[in-house]
Chains A and B, each alone.
Chain A
């Protein structure tokens, strides 16, 4: 059996005297979609940030494609492989195009390929008619979709989405749910931290439950 895309070993997070969680092991398989659920304060966001290398003050280690790494010396290579999208995504105060191109330029993707991916991302997120509007003027749902498209355009090996529907209205939620279903259908490896029952109930998403400092992967 091949190694999982991502494996966590003995990951612990402590705040002062309080241990937030201790995860014995977790394996994330390539091409699978997961939902990370759990009560408020259980550490879902913290775990996502640890995996993304944004919180490097954690015990334990991770293996990515079988290659071990520790959080304190988070490898730059993983920053290209794993993309995290904040609960309230930040769009740079430039243009939508610049936002979509930002990570592609960092990866030195040739201009023609960049242009193709940007066009595809705009269409995927349903933002063709909003192309020329400054990001600050987009609605909450449009910002969320733009952030998802920006992350997806990078074709990351693992996509981490933090509460992508938390502050959206009904229409925004429905559009974001449709994009999540597409990510699943495209067989992207994605972990979605959420409370949203509609995401939790999306077929094909495996559940990971973080509760009382422990991580469990219940069936279903």
Chain B
């Protein structure tokens, strides 16, 4: 198969400002960013608590969150579909096949990644961090925030990975978004659709954007780690 011609067409499409293409790119970006922005704080807090607090059922909670990591995203999509469908408990909100449904799905998908990465980062933190903060007069919340700041690159990696998982996800987005052109079609669902239709140029163009975004976010993380000193 000739790859050169579709690739040339893909770049021509990208730089022509094709509205359908850029609509999918914009939707992917804002929905992913919004999902991570909304889910990051509670997930990081839960990851911290699971790492630092001892309570009955803590181990089971960790195992459950870890298990969520390997949950197929189409199953997550199915559950959200059932919840948001007209006859589901949240059907009256009419969110199914809207970007909000995709955003909710992304939040669920990113949640275990953020929790597990944060848990791992905090468990790896020097136990003297929290104690030192407490000894210097910090309350529990301030000492917890100081600990998170000390492992900030691990937490940042959690956010980057959560974002990467969300923006590249396809199964859940198709299930709850419906892949409607101009409304819920985003980069991965558009790639899946256009490829099955045989339109490789659009798939390559979108795939290129997705890789640039993924690379850009990871380069940014590396730069921040470099500036702060790798630990």
Q: Which residues of A contact B (CB under 8 A)?
A: 52-54, 76, 79-80, 83-86, 88-90, 92-94, 102-103, 106-107, 134, 136, 150-151, 154
Contact = CB atoms under 8 A, between A and B. Distances in A.
Given A54-B131, A106-B142, A90 B126 contact: yes
Contacts of B139: 76, 106
Contacts of B135: 52, 54, 79, 83-85
Given A54-B134, A84-B135, A106-B142, A92 B229 contact: no
Contacts of A89: 128, 132
B138 interface: yes
Contacts of A83: 135-137
B136 A150 contact: yes
B132 A90 contact: yes
B231 A79 contact: no
A183 to B, nearest CB: 17
B136 to A, nearest CB: 4
B13 interface: no
16 contacts: A52-B135, A53-B134, A54-B131, A54-B134, A84-B135, A89-B128, A90-B132, A92-B132, A92-B146, A93-B150, A93-B228, A94-B149, A102-B138, A150-B136, A154-B136, A154-B137
Interface residues of B, number: 19
A94 to B, nearest CB: 8
A76 B140 CA distance: 10
Given A53-B134, A103-B137, A106-B142, 18 more contacts: A76-B139, A79-B135, A79-B137, A80-B137, A89-B128, A90-B128, A92-B129, A92-B146, A92-B150, A102-B133, A102-B136, A102-B138, A102-B146, A103-B138, A106-B136, A106-B137, A107-B137, A154-B137
Given A90-B126, A136-B229, A103 B136 contact: yes
Nearest to A80: B137
B105 to A, nearest CB: 36
Contacts of B133: 102
A93 B132 contact: no
